[in-house]
A and B are shown apart, each in its own frame.
Chain A
Amino acid sequence: MARSVLITLCECKGEHLSASQRCLRRMHDTTNLAKHLLLLFFLCGWGQAEGASPKEESIHFGRDIQPILANRCYKCHGPDAAERQAELRLDNFAMESAASIVPGDAGQSPLYQRIIETDPDFRMPPATEGPPLTKQEQQQIARWIDSGAARDAHWAFVPPQQQIPPQVDDPSWPKSDIDAFVLSRLEREGLAPAPEANRRALIRRLSFDLRGLPPSIKEVEAFVHNPDPDAYSKLVETMLESPHYGERMAQNWLDLARYADTTGYASDVPRPMWLYRDWVIRSFNDNLPFDQFAILQLAGDMLPESESDDLIATGFHRCSMQALGNNPRKEEFRVKGIVDRVNTTARVFLGLTMGCAECHDHKFDPITQKEYYGMFAIFNNVPHYGENFEVRGPRIEATSPLAETRRAQIDHALSVLRQHAPPVNSALRAKRQAAWEHDMMRLYEKESSGHSELVAEWPMVDKNQHRVLDTPALRISGDFTIAAKVQTTDDVADIFCKYDSERGERGYVFGIGGEGEANAVRGHLYGWISGERDRFDGIQIYGSVPVNDGKLHEVALVFRSGDGVDLYVDGRRDMHARRAGLPPDRVAASECDLLIGEGYGLKPEKNKFSLEGTLTNVRLYRAALPWAARSGLIPSQIYSILQTPRSMREPQQQEEVKKFFAEIDRDHLPEPLRNRMEELEQERASLDRTYQAQVMQEMDTPRATHVMLRGNYLDQGEQVEPGVPDCLPPSDQPLDRLEFARWLFRPEHPLTARVAVNRIWQHYFGTGLVETADDFGRQGAWPSHPALLDYLAIAFQESGWNLKAMHRLIVNSAAYRQSAQVGEAAYTRDPANRLLARGPRGRLPAEQIRDNALAVGGLLSPKFGGPSVYPPQPTGILEEKGQLQYHPVWITSHGEDRYRRGLYVYWKRMNLYPSLATFGATTRERCTVKRPISNTPLQALVLLNDPVFVEAARALGRRIVEDAGPDPHARIEYAHLRCMGRPPTADEHSRYKRFVRDQIEKFSADPEQAAKWIDREPSQVGDGSAASRAAWTLLAATLLNLDETISKP
């Protein structure tokens, strides 16, 4: 069955290549076939069809017969004219093909005679096409012919019909119309639904399905003890309103949209796409109606007065892979991109696998190659610029679609944090203010002897480049600070360079864009500080904020030897700067000259990375001076007040300075709080920034589209006009991308609504009502509940394509609320739960496995949207495959970005983040409608040993010890609740108690192991608390590995 893997790919290569070859080989067969059809028609006796049992259901052509014919016969006797043999056409029994069947009499029907033929030379399908039809298939065909051989149109091409919920024997069970359909089917099968799941299971199921996160203990207990009979439906509403709803829904959609952060193919270079990802999240949260959601993504650029968000939406079709490099066949890869757009559109919105028709008429569905290129023509008019590594489509610069939401979230978070700030001691603050003013004055006193730590200052008034001959004073070995004012649009430019790698004189360098190295971000600050001259051994830092926007910025680098390095922009510490390597204890004493405003190139006399624009006030201090880097925070009026000596200031001026200082003074705050506030402030400031987005754009003059013979872009056939396949309703407008998008939502369209609701169903129940969620064609599965599918499709349309309404409808049903605890026999009877006699249970998707562990450990960052992140992964993952030349190395994110949801992990197509890949996340090279589900030992290894999961276990261990009190009983209960949302049973209690006790004993005997396990220096844990903490951490790790923890209940 096709249930498992619906990864997209082009299906049919080879069919066409072999066509001529096979034609020759089969010529003989074909002639014989025609002859024998006739011969058999006259001569043959009755077939051996056994009469169908009268009790059995009647035969349905579309459901029972067509799949057999489609699978076994259409290849040669189907819609593909080029492959058709003996002019026999069994997809529509046109013309003489009708003679292959004698309605009411299988025995007289040549078709039947041929399939039951025992002589392999005459039997159909021929041996080259596989084994004969099974007995059951033969009998089905016999029954169908005997009962009159009625044919109906393929169900999915007929518009959904209004459905009245059926009568059921047990009217007490249904909670919604959905349930009537489900129960009626169960009753027909002689089955009963499972009882409703308990509330702990329900809230957990809902929370994972709607938010992709576990419920908190508080939420669980509140729900469990809520006496309100409507508690469940109210909970549904709360979850639908959560911003995490959008994140969870986006996760599915991004699989369809093949969203990734790299271009794919061998080059696989970064391509900023995340604004589109954030648009998707916002649209789900705003409950944008599905028709608008789709139209914007397919053709947002063509809407009248389209705004930047509408353009960002069109990123949907800019996610296609793009080959880059010195490949001579740029056009070929452009064509591949269009093919991907056509196939993805068909799969996502029409539920059709059109890929076959790229090269030849579709073998199974009534889609001709010409019709395929009609669709192709619709998507063929997007400009394609550049050569080699610069090949690209249209782009814009825009702010994030989530900026507003995020700003509100940050403001809220900051106000909460401020409430947690300890009270200010005003005397201490006054002291700090005095010290600060003193420092500031010294900083700005140009005429004075300057700050004692100041090595030198270069005003750089009328030039941007300056060479300073090397002196011992410039060979700084310990802490230092470089500060400057810069205004430029350069992507790559050095500011302060005592670093010449070509000639083995490495020391320190500070600038923009990392001399163009793959790891660096163009337009962002960077710094390299090496402890060795002849090779790099030190720390690299890469900023997260662009400084090349042509505005004036105060920038600084602060290095603390053996400790760390920070970047500052306009007085703000870059909380998201990424670092690689370790800060050296001693900076190498590079003997090259100091270059200001440029850096060293290959030849000593030819400097590179020259800064254009203005560079002034360049200073070097031999100390780590954050305040030197922070002067940019001071507004001009404060600055001018500070110029006035204290004694000469007006009281009101004095007050102004005091007020300003109170705003920036953080020294009284505990460091974590301070860091968190700075993080949030930096993020808030970044929300106004624009980022690159890949968008669609329609060329003024459309390209001419030709049929590409056998899918070869060089081999052009007849010219075709934009169009949709004839089997679907016609468009009354001339088709372009926008009209096509609107056509999808015509009320009589048979596919769009069905395909969409089916995927929603799949989200909850694991399998859609149509098992082949991306194939509603003749090869696809027949729906398990055809009437329910139509009911939902019509309800969806009538709701105004309201997505949340559909989610609400489904999760409020009794079908969804059933328990999954039904015993092995039930699972064996219906492994995929197609009859819906139990609740939907299953392992969480890859991203949720990660999110859940981080959430349970209390590490998960609530940050919403933004650039993709680089959580820790084993070193060398990219390097060992040689993926370095065009690729940034994986520089692990800093701060909260280490703990973001899986959704935000940098999606590198050719080397997907290992733990996500292990749990079945797809590389998104192409549209994925359903992920394969696997269950492997490598997954066990991730949960047991991946440092990310170990860190989560340690965090949970710490929480158990710190938050649950000293009582082991309470600790076990707390841990269990956090992981599984339910208290442990008495058995579990005693088992875990014993386990922890044994482990404490073991770790006590080996305190060094205990310290290692909880990541402490042995000296830090001399008091014996290590053993206890280690044992509880081990329990935490154990619980995080349980099937129950990683499953939706």
Chain B
Amino acid sequence: MTIFPSSTELLSRRIFLSRSGLGLGTAALGSLLATDSTSYAAEQINPQIQFIPQAKRVIYLFMSGGPSHIDLFDPKPLLTARDGEPIPERLIRNHQFAMIKTEAPLLKGSPYNFARHGESGHSISRLLPHTARVADELAVIRSLHTDTFNHDPAVMMMNTGDARFGRPAMGAWLSYGLGSENKDLPAFVVLASGVNTNQPLLQAYWGNGFLPSHHQGVQFRNQGDPVLYAKNPPGIDRRTRRAMLDQIAAANREQLAIIGDPEIGTRIKQYEMAYRMQMSVPELTDLGQEPAHIHNEYGTHPGQVSFANNCLLARRLVERGVRFVQLYHKGWDSHTKLEADHERQCQETDQPIAALLTDLRRRGLLDDTLVIWGGEFGRTPVAQGTGNAYGRDHHPHGFTMWMAGAGVRRGTVYGSTDAFGYFAEDHPVHVHDLHATVLHLLGIDHRRLTFRLRGRDFRLTDVHGDVIRPILA
């Protein structure tokens, strides 16, 4: 017997999966960043892909700052009727607001009309005319709730299932569990846009937590190289780079032969991947290749930093098999001037989102791509501040998100908030449930995608999470 099961049972994920004869073949696991290295010995993964995956990849449209559910997707006539009255005390008993300091904040109805759209009859506010066009694609969940009301813990919660720093983001879990379908690109890509507010985007939002570092999200930047250092230095063209890489490979192969450390073999492969990435990333990010009608549809302008450009880039990324694309659009945190802020945010995001769904549908990609829309929380049904400059505070107790695409029941509304849009009332959906559902759609039992650390099997959903079956197709 051995006292080092860890050394002798070097069951890499690849071996495990090929042995277990599961649906996802080794090709799917040949992630860009996931060639077997000894660090892999660390990964005692047991993904147990139990279901036939509906979705192969995810585009997550993260509305950073917290969009107002009651002004977009969750109409509340009662709120309008009682606009200006104090909120019933029972609702806010023992509740803390993030910013509102008044004892009896006043209800604030939405200034925006809602209308029903599509066959499904989704109620959508006039701020989102384009989304309304694709209403039938959406499964709207109106009963989300989360644990925390400050931005960074809430974003961490939404991304990692824990408000504290240190856990892997959903994209990292998926990279770890499924790898990438494209060996020239990372499995988890992050894109950012929107106004600069005082809520910076933190690397931890797309961090690998305790998972091996190659699972962390790679941010494609809007300026300079899309991927850091993907551009050759001045004076080095592709031919010269190739000649140099050939020398590096030859020397590394000799080392591998002399020493025998498989890490050297991994490094040889990683240099080749880097080379391919240098080729594929500029091609990928060159939106100028898209025809005019696509630019019209999305509202894109190559070279500009915009959410629209990122939506189009997201399509190009999933087209190439990137597993998890997360778009952050900053600027939703409307503590004051909610109307001006939300009108701007919607104007920036509405058309590109509708275009993205339409485009994915047209290309057949929506059949196996899951699109998620939402922020870290919603906004209060009560006003923060008064007069025209009113805003709404952070609201974790009930808010809206939607999903569309692979495996999602189109045109559904699930759950509801109370008459004031305050608490998730009917079929509350916790963030953990959302995570469980996303993993389920990707063919993973959320209870089985685990990483052992200090004697505990960690997972995205901690010890919680129920799949929201009614929204599954």
How many Å from the CB of B437 to the closest CB on chain A?
A: 18
Interface residues of A, count at CB 8 A: 121
Please tell me if the beta carbons of B200 and A5 are within 8 angstroms of each other in the complex.
no
A217 interface residue, CB < 8 Å from B?
no
How many Å from the CB of B64 to the closest CB on chain A?
A: 9
Interface residues of B, count at CB 8 A: 99
How many Å from the CB of A995 to the closest CB on chain B?
A: 6
A1044 interface residue, CB < 8 Å from B?
yes
A57 vs B255: C-alpha distance in the bound complex, in angstroms? Answer: 38
User: Which residues in B have their C-beta under 8 angstroms from that of A881?
Assistant: 192, 200-203
A328 vs B252: C-alpha distance in the bound complex, in angstroms? Answer: 56
A832 interface residue, CB < 8 Å from B?
yes
Question: For chain B residues 212-230, which have a beta carbon within 8 Å of chain A?
Answer: 212-214, 218, 221-225, 227-230
Given A7-B166, A946-B229, A941 and B277 touching (CB < 8 A)?
yes
Query: Quick one: CB contact mask for A226-267 with B, threshold 8 Å, 1 for yes?
Result: 000000000000000000000000000000000000000110
From A71, A784, A926, A934, B3 is in contact (CB under 8 Å) with A784
User: Which residues in A have their C-beta under 8 angstroms from that of B231?
Assistant: 945
Please tell me if the beta carbons of B6 and A882 are within 8 angstroms of each other in the complex.
no
Please tell me if the beta carbons of A9 and B259 are within 8 angstroms of each other in the complex.
no
A830 vs B262: C-alpha distance in the bound complex, in angstroms? Answer: 12
Given A832-B41, A935-B263, A1013-B234, A266 and B229 touching (CB < 8 A)?
no
Question: For chain B residues 245-279, which have a beta carbon within 8 Å of chain A?
Answer: 247-248, 250-252, 254-256, 258-264, 266-267, 270-271, 273-274, 277-278
User: Which residues in A have their C-beta under 8 angstroms from that of B227?
Assistant: 938, 941
Selecting from A527-535, A569-577, A820-828, the interface stretch reads A820-828
A822 vs B261: C-alpha distance in the bound complex, in angstroms? Answer: 9
Please tell me if the beta carbons of A1 and B251 are within 8 angstroms of each other in the complex.
no
Please tell me if the beta carbons of B455 and A71 are within 8 angstroms of each other in the complex.
yes
Please tell me if the beta carbons of A1044 and B251 are within 8 angstroms of each other in the complex.
yes
How many Å from the CB of B96 to the closest CB on chain A?
A: 7
A991 interface residue, CB < 8 Å from B?
yes
A783 vs B232: C-alpha distance in the bound complex, in angstroms? Answer: 47
User: Which residues in A have their C-beta under 8 angstroms from that of B244?
Assistant: 1034, 1037-1038, 1041
A109 interface residue, CB < 8 Å from B?
no
B185's closest neighbor in chain A, by CB? A937
Please tell me if the beta carbons of B267 and A998 are within 8 angstroms of each other in the complex.
no
B296 interface residue, CB < 8 Å from A?
no
A566 interface residue, CB < 8 Å from B?
no
The residue among B41, B162, B198, B457 with the most chain A CB atoms within 10 A of its own CB is: B198
How many Å from the CB of B154 to the closest CB on chain A?
A: 11
The residue among B37, B151, B214, B266 with the most chain A CB atoms within 10 A of its own CB is: B214
From B38, B42, B200, B259, A266 is in contact (CB under 8 Å) with B200
Please tell me if the beta carbons of B38 and A874 are within 8 angstroms of each other in the complex.
no
Please tell me if the beta carbons of B247 and A995 are within 8 angstroms of each other in the complex.
yes
Selecting from A13-21, A156-164, A442-450, the interface stretch reads A13-21
Please tell me if the beta carbons of A266 and B202 are within 8 angstroms of each other in the complex.
yes
Selecting from A202-210, A378-386, A1004-1012, the interface stretch reads A1004-1012
The residue among A1, A4, A771, A834 with the most chain B CB atoms within 10 A of its own CB is: A4
How many Å from the CB of A262 to the closest CB on chain B?
A: 12
A1002 interface residue, CB < 8 Å from B?
yes
A876's closest neighbor in chain B, by CB? B223
Please tell me if the beta carbons of B211 and A5 are within 8 angstroms of each other in the complex.
yes
B167 interface residue, CB < 8 Å from A?
yes
B253's closest neighbor in chain A, by CB? A1043
A821 vs B264: C-alpha distance in the bound complex, in angstroms? Answer: 12
Give the A-B contact count at a CB cut-off of 8 A: 298
User: Which residues in A have their C-beta under 8 angstroms from that of B232?
Assistant: 944-945
Please tell me if the beta carbons of A14 and B164 are within 8 angstroms of each other in the complex.
no
B90 interface residue, CB < 8 Å from A?
no
How many Å from the CB of A887 to the closest CB on chain B?
A: 8
A998's closest neighbor in chain B, by CB? B243
User: Which residues in B have their C-beta under 8 angstroms from that of A825?
Assistant: 260
Please tell me if the beta carbons of B228 and A874 are within 8 angstroms of each other in the complex.
yes
A364 interface residue, CB < 8 Å from B?
yes
User: Which residues in B have their C-beta under 8 angstroms from that of A57?
Assistant: 1
From B33, B196, B463, A14 is in contact (CB under 8 Å) with B463
Please tell me if the beta carbons of A941 and B229 are within 8 angstroms of each other in the complex.
yes
B10's closest neighbor in chain A, by CB? A831
B5's closest neighbor in chain A, by CB? A1
A939 interface residue, CB < 8 Å from B?
yes
Selecting from A43-51, A95-103, A420-428, A907-915, the interface stretch reads A907-915
Please tell me if the beta carbons of B236 and A14 are within 8 angstroms of each other in the complex.
no
Please tell me if the beta carbons of A9 and B228 are within 8 angstroms of each other in the complex.
no
Given A9-B210, A821-B258, A1 and B454 touching (CB < 8 A)?
no
Please tell me if the beta carbons of A1034 and B240 are within 8 angstroms of each other in the complex.
yes
Please tell me if the beta carbons of A827 and B152 are within 8 angstroms of each other in the complex.
no
A885 interface residue, CB < 8 Å from B?
yes
Given A998-B243, A1034-B240, A934 and B261 touching (CB < 8 A)?
no
How many Å from the CB of B53 to the closest CB on chain A?
A: 21
B150's closest neighbor in chain A, by CB? A327
Please tell me if the beta carbons of B203 and A882 are within 8 angstroms of each other in the complex.
no
A1008's closest neighbor in chain B, by CB? B235
Please tell me if the beta carbons of A1044 and B240 are within 8 angstroms of each other in the complex.
no
Given A779-B454, A1002-B240, A4 and B42 touching (CB < 8 A)?
yes
B357 interface residue, CB < 8 Å from A?
no
Please tell me if the beta carbons of B235 and A1030 are within 8 angstroms of each other in the complex.
yes
Please tell me if the beta carbons of A1013 and B236 are within 8 angstroms of each other in the complex.
yes
Please tell me if the beta carbons of A1043 and B6 are within 8 angstroms of each other in the complex.
no
A937 vs B39: C-alpha distance in the bound complex, in angstroms? Answer: 15
User: Which residues in A have their C-beta under 8 angstroms from that of B289?
Assistant: none
A875 interface residue, CB < 8 Å from B?
yes
User: Which residues in B have their C-beta under 8 angstroms from that of A268?
Assistant: 200
How many Å from the CB of B81 to the closest CB on chain A?
A: 32
B418 interface residue, CB < 8 Å from A?
no
A9 vs B167: C-alpha distance in the bound complex, in angstroms? Answer: 8
Question: For chain A residues 996-1046, which have a beta carbon within 8 Å of chain B?
Answer: 998-999, 1002, 1009-1015, 1030, 1034, 1037-1038, 1041-1044
User: Which residues in A have their C-beta under 8 angstroms from that of B270?
Assistant: 935-937, 939-940
A1016's closest neighbor in chain B, by CB? B235
Query: Quick one: CB contact mask for A877-910 with B, threshold 8 Å, 1 for yes?
Result: 0011111111000000000000000000000001
A560 vs B264: C-alpha distance in the bound complex, in angstroms? Answer: 52
Question: For chain B residues 131-175, which have a beta carbon within 8 Å of chain A?
Answer: 150-152, 162, 164-167
Given A821-B260, A910-B200, A920 and B229 touching (CB < 8 A)?
no
Question: For chain A residues 1-35, which have a beta carbon within 8 Å of chain B?
Answer: 1-15, 17-18, 22
User: Which residues in B have their C-beta under 8 angstroms from that of A1043?
Assistant: 251-252, 255, 263-264, 267
A354 vs B197: C-alpha distance in the bound complex, in angstroms? Answer: 37
Please tell me if the beta carbons of A266 and B3 are within 8 angstroms of each other in the complex.
no
B301 interface residue, CB < 8 Å from A?
no
How many Å from the CB of A141 to the closest CB on chain B?
A: 13
Please tell me if the beta carbons of A875 and B209 are within 8 angstroms of each other in the complex.
no
A880 vs B34: C-alpha distance in the bound complex, in angstroms? Answer: 28
Given A827-B261, A881-B201, A935-B263, A944 and B229 touching (CB < 8 A)?
yes
A297 interface residue, CB < 8 Å from B?
no
User: Which residues in A have their C-beta under 8 angstroms from that of B455?
Assistant: 2, 70-71, 364, 775, 777-780
Given A1-B42, A932-B212, A995-B247, A9 and B165 touching (CB < 8 A)?
yes
Please tell me if the beta carbons of B251 and A935 are within 8 angstroms of each other in the complex.
no
Please tell me if the beta carbons of B210 and A945 are within 8 angstroms of each other in the complex.
no
The residue among B221, B235, B273, B464 with the most chain A CB atoms within 10 A of its own CB is: B235
| 3 A-B pairs with the lowest CB-CB distances in the bound complex, closest first | A1013-B235, A4-B42, A779-B455
Query: Could you pull out 23 A-B pairs where Cβ atoms are within 8 angstroms?
Result: A4-B41, A9-B167, A11-B453, A18-B463, A22-B463, A56-B1, A71-B455, A779-B456, A827-B260, A832-B38, A874-B228, A882-B196, A923-B204, A936-B214, A940-B267, A941-B277, A944-B274, A945-B229, A945-B231, A947-B233, A1002-B239, A1012-B234, A1041-B248
Supply 18 further A-B pairs (C-beta < 8 A) apart from A1-B41, A780-B455, A935-B35. A1-B44, A3-B41, A3-B42, A9-B164, A11-B454, A328-B96, A778-B455, A823-B259, A828-B262, A831-B7, A882-B197, A935-B266, A937-B270, A945-B232, A988-B254, A1014-B235, A1043-B263, A1044-B251
